[in-house]
Amino acid sequence: MSIGGLKMALIGRIPGSVAGGALLVMVSTQALSLWLGLLVLFAVLVSILPFRIEPTPVRMGMAGFFSGLFGTSSSIGGPPMALLLQHQEANQLRGNLSAFFVFSSIISLVIQIPAGFFTLHHLWVTLPLLPASWFGYKLAMLTTHALPKEKIRLGALILCSLSGATAVWQALA
């Protein structure tokens, strides 16, 4: 899959991000965190069932929509795409997710501006995190080629589970 293969996911991301922005304004943070966390945990459970969900254009659009909904409203937009693409080769998975998140993060940020959830203050607070992002990228480039596909999949499932569990925990705390 390439950027062209991600087209449906990016198209789905736009209305999903708009819906996520609306949720930010209309739903309490606690309720949003609880429901989105539970949905992510449900998706992880579905992904460990003994069948594969192949990334068709319709499924890519749906995953893009839910990634936009989750990502814009709670910053956990990775699980829908990671779960759909989890059976790809490791290099292809990393490349597709990276390309998707470059564009989709911009979409979410643009939606959050009129909703009042992304301001210059947020930008200034984020800038010091850029060196850590660069370090993570460099570390990944040095280490991930040595990891087998199943280890990458397991890591994605663990990260998705942690994201969902953290969202539920925050809602209940």
What is the rounded CA–CA span in Å between residue 41 and residue 47? 10
- Report pTM: 0.78
Q: Running DSSP on this structure, what letter comes out for residue 3?
A: T
Convert 103-141 to b/e letters by CB count within 10 Å (16 or more is b).
Answer: ebbebbbebbeebebbeeeeeeeeeeeeeeeeeeeeeee
Write out the two tokens for 73: 């409203």
Tens digit of pLDDT per residue, the chain (173 long)?
444 568 999 999 999 999 999 998 899 888 988 988 898 899 889 888 888 888 889 999 999 999 999 889 878 788 888 888 877 776 777 778 888 888 888 999 899 999 888 899 988 998 999 999 889 888 877 877 777 777 877 888 898 899 889 989 988 98
In angstroms, the Cα distances linking 30 to 35, 79, 102 are 9, 20, 28
What is the enclosing helix (H) or strand (E) of 59?
A: helix 57-74
Q: Are 96 and 85 in contact (CB under 8 A)?
A: yes
